[in-house]
Structure 1
């Protein structure tokens, strides 16, 4: 399969004035942004030196309907109108490839990343073509996942390990959460300690709505303890049983997913990935169905903001 890389766009290349205003003017006059994104799957806008104070106008043009991170499982801080920090995960670890919220009944079609502070070393955002990721997996693995996977979350009520249901759904109203989950095909139950248990079956692949390409589209390797590494998984199992983990995953019928399958998915996704190394002011737009993303480990401060749209 032909090698893939995101399309990089700079002022000279697209005939735009340098600076955030030039980028905004170009986007405002561009009628083919959707077609360009469908063709190239990810776009890097570089050399426009966008600043945090000028980001809103660019975001409004790239993300027509900015979404809240409701039912998101990653630790983030909300810093603006449906704008969040990227995953607040220890910098010494890589984050494996995934499509944002592929475990949910609805997911964003577009993601935008903005570099406010570049790391001293590392910290790239790797991107993987979902077709290449699917094609890299052994037939045995693809066949095993053919009937989908079951994701299970244990969300505490304000004190505990992992995320609370209040943070996850951005509300403290139980009836709002119940309505959301009832319309999403999820099974759920409130626990005596005030926590919430949610379970849902989702497919392992999906078909891109524009191109018709089948892509790998699940987060089994991130929800499975083996995806964290053997030592971390062993430590978790000593603290609590699998049924009580903040998040876990099985095949759709409830049978366990072999650890070797999980490691293959994780490792081949990272191997197939292309790194986007950050410079301050960079803006990255990705098609969340066509492309998975992750994070390389880093040193020094790093501040990447994220927003999403349907």
Structure 2
């Protein structure tokens, strides 16, 4: 691929002074069907210069994401700040968040994500996105073949005190019955632990196909759930505290055999190598097709507040 062939998301800029009213009018004129067609064709859309404020965010999101979903069974720390609107992953700002398709470890995932910049970062803090089909094709044949049977994800969710997330936060409930009702149709197995925690195990495919255009894409979070994805120092520190099977989250091949660290590092690095950065200004929005594009986060300084919502 040459430099001129590099894919980037489509940027849609304000034309008439730029405010939320102009964006709402343009989205209403476009309509849901045309927006879906455009997003499938372009994979990602960036709306710039409309200076959307938090007060008008719901009105805009109602058009971009007609059926907003709750972040139930989500594995990253977030704070709910509105009607199924959340902070983006609350992960230390000095670290890169590697590429991933949202909730690709789950039995169902959002089809579309919208990111909103409430406070632009002082520096850095771009949201990198990568074509998930390109990601798949960039991997060595040996890696693709090794993952052909899928992966097994294991979550160890504490009962309010411990490493990682609690089961109450993960499922947005304090009812064990509600958790079991959610998990029952997913094909997962689970076990309530003596300490009040919950262990959930799920086998999922490593790739999927886009439901409209049929493109096969890399679609799993093995590199984020594997200790090798944490970096040597962090992984070594955790190993002193807990065995791998008791980590807040862990991943193996579907048959339970370990995934080599070298595979995990290749998966992580190839995605970041091919990623395209979306830089932020206050009021910007980014909408992505969650199957066709994976996303991450660059390190940053300053406050940086990005909100995220998702829909089916």
Q: Taking structure 2 as the reference length, what is the TM-score of the superposition?
A: 0.97
Secondary structure at 1:30 match in 2: helix
Return the offset for 1:279.
0.3
Residue 29 (structure 2) pairs with residue 26 (structure 1) = no
- Partner in structure 2 of residue 189 of structure 1: 191
Runs of 4+ in 1 over 3 A off after TM superposition: none
SS in 2 for 1:70: coil
Equivalent residue number for residue 54 of structure 1: 56
Aligned CA-pair RMSD:
0.8
Residues 1:9 and 2:9 aligned together = no
- How do 1:256-295 residues align onto structure 2 when only pairs under 5 Å count? 256-295=258-297
Partner of 1:120: 122
The whole-number CA distance in structure 2 between the counterparts of 1:203 and 1:182 is 19
Q: Alpha-carbon deviations, 1:151-188, whole Å to 9, x = none?
A: 00000011111100000000000000001111111000
Question: d(CA) in 2 for partners of 1:274 and 1:236?
Answer: 32
* Cα offset, 1:11, TM superposition: 1.9
Partner deviation per Cα, 1:111-162 (whole Å, 9 max, x = no partner): 0000000111100000000011011100000000001000000000111111
Q: Distance in 1 between matches of 2:300 and 2:18?
A: 29
Q: Which residue of 2 aligns with 1:201?
A: 203
Match of 1:67 in 2: 69
Q: Distance in 2 between matches of 1:29 and 1:57?
A: 15
Equivalent pairs, count? 307
TM-score, with length taken from structure 1: 0.98
Secondary structure of the 2:39 match is: helix
Q: Structure 2 CA distance, aligned partners of 1:294 and 1:266?
A: 11
Structure 1 position 3, deviation (Å):
2.3
Q: SS state of the match for residue 30, structure 2?
A: coil
Q: How many angstroms apart in 1 are the aligned matches of 2:66 and 2:241?
A: 44
Report the Cα distance in structure 1 between the residues aligned to 2:286 and 2:52, rounded to whole angstroms.
12
Question: d(CA) in 2 for partners of 1:204 and 1:3?
Answer: 25
SS in 2 for 1:116: strand
